[in-house]
Amino acid sequence: MELHFEELLGQITDFIKSEAKTETVVGKEFQLGEFKCVPVIKVGMGFGSGGGEGFEAKGKKGEGIGAGAGVGIEPMGFLVTKEEDISFIEAGKAHGLSAAFEKVPDLIEKLAINKKEAEVNA
């Protein structure tokens, strides 16, 4: 078996080039009522490879090669249009009433701090 690192790395590089393109990050447009929506994602890729050859004590030759790759995809949000208006809605971010409820613990903490400061200054 011959080791062909350049060929292997070329194939992995070609794969990454074919997958990391605008169409992968910006999804296909879809209609939701009167809104046009386009999903936007974050893509991360990585790879590694290695190989070697050697001789054992009896003189037998051994060689090996290996490679691995990984892809991570995370939704970021949606581009949303309605007539001439366009906006970006982040995925995983709370909006409206749920956003207000998420801020309640911070608000309570600030009120407690203000109360303590008022007591100290009184």
Neighbours of 35 (CB within 10 A): 14
Measured CA to CA, the distance from residue 56 to residue 65 in angstroms comes to: 17
Report pLDDT for 24: 67
Give average pLDDT by consecutive 10-residue segment, the chain, 122 residues.
67 75 72 85 80 86 82 82 86 60 66 80 76
Give residue limits of the domains in the chain: 5-91, 94-122
- Give every CB contact of residue 80 below 8 A, 6+ residues apart in sequence: 35, 36, 37, 38, 86, 87, 88, 89
Sheet holding 35-55, edge to edge: 30-32, 35-55, 61-82, 85-90
Report pLDDT for 52: 84
| Matching residue, tokens 């490879």 | 49
